[in-house]
Amino acid sequence: MCGHRVQRYMGFCSECGRAHRWRDDGGLTGAECYRCGWAVSDKFGFCPWCGSNIHEEGYSSDEPLKAPRGFRMDARCDWGCGGGVQYPMKYCPWCGRRQYWNEEPLFEGTCPSCGRGVDDLMNTCPWCGADSTGRDLIPRALTRVRRLLLVSRIKDWDYRILLRPGVSGVDPKYPDMVEIEQRYVVGKRRRDEIPWTMLVGLITHELGHSFLYHHWDWTRTRQFRRAFGEVDKAYRGMDNTWVYFQRRRIAIAPSNHVSAYAAKHPQEDFAETFRFYVTRRGRLRDLFGEFGRKRKGVILFEKFLVLHEYVRALRGWGA
């Protein structure tokens, strides 16, 4: 046991992943499910945890009840049978049908495996026991990203990759939490999914945002502002622009940016510069040779030099 606090009727510890079985140890409910062993009421017709039929003549109630002994009513059955259900019951104890809970106000995100609520710092989903971050679904891409950061000699800053529904991005208030749109990995439609090499580019781009927010004081320096501009200027945020993150070659236009998307805002400019720096393993000689062949502007050379020198300074290498 790791000592982490577990909410009653959660199936797994969110810290160590240990499975829990909630028995009627104190004799509060007066019964346990014959199949899963969890506490139930002898008035139930179905186990609310595993869905098994536990009806017993002379004990189980023929009419749906609101809150038999040991349980409370948090909501009515989703299917209108009239019975009361307690959070987080999976099934109605009266009709046996699946129940759905709105957990958005209770948790920061949803588990990529089961869709139930999870928090960003959870290691294990407390409902299904899977990796709550979804990192187990993208091991190849994450291994590649970690390797690229290592060979680029970028010091780890304790970032945390999370597969979440919505859009990929990083909240400036939580700079170490890097959210990746989970439909690219577990999309219901095949065309929603993207190749793992493009996923590497997407993750690296979002890590660029995380790196920048994590080292925000650096953006106030004269060298950074001269290269990238004012990164805290008004940013309209989300758009529907599709970015080809699999590209490893520098775009010909615009002349002062590595890609067209980089020209949208100074923050995107840095994230794209970071992506190319990492995916090209910090090899400035090769990058600068490509800049020269494509007649890129002098300012683009300066962007990579500023990033390169800052990376070296973080590792204590000096100038």
> Per residue of the chain (319 residues), what is the pLDDT tens digit?
688 999 999 999 999 999 999 999 989 999 999 999 999 999 999 999 999 999 999 999 999 999 999 999 999 999 999 999 999 999 999 999 999 999 999 999 999 999 999 999 999 999 999 999 999 999 999 999 999 999 999 999 999 999 999 889 999 999 999 999 998 887 655 456 788 899 999 999 999 999 999 999 999 999 999 999 999 887 665 555 556 677 778 888 899 999 999 999 999 999 999 999 999 999 999 999 999 999 999 999 999 999 999 999 998 854 3
Same domain, yes or no, for 160 and 291?
A: yes
**Cβ(170)–Cβ(213) under 8 Å?**
yes
**Number of structural domains, the chain?**
2
Q: Which two tokens stand for residue 271?
A: 């994230």
* DSSP letters spanning 64-113: --S--TT---SEE-TT-SS-EE-TT-SB-TTT--B-----TTT-SEE-TT
Same domain, yes or no, for 160 and 201?
A: yes
**Cβ(77)–Cβ(147) under 8 Å?**
no
Q: Is position 40 within any domain?
A: yes
Domain of 94? 1-127
Q: Is position 319 within any domain?
A: no
Same domain, yes or no, for 179 and 295?
A: yes
Query: What pTM was estimated for this model as a whole?
Result: 0.89
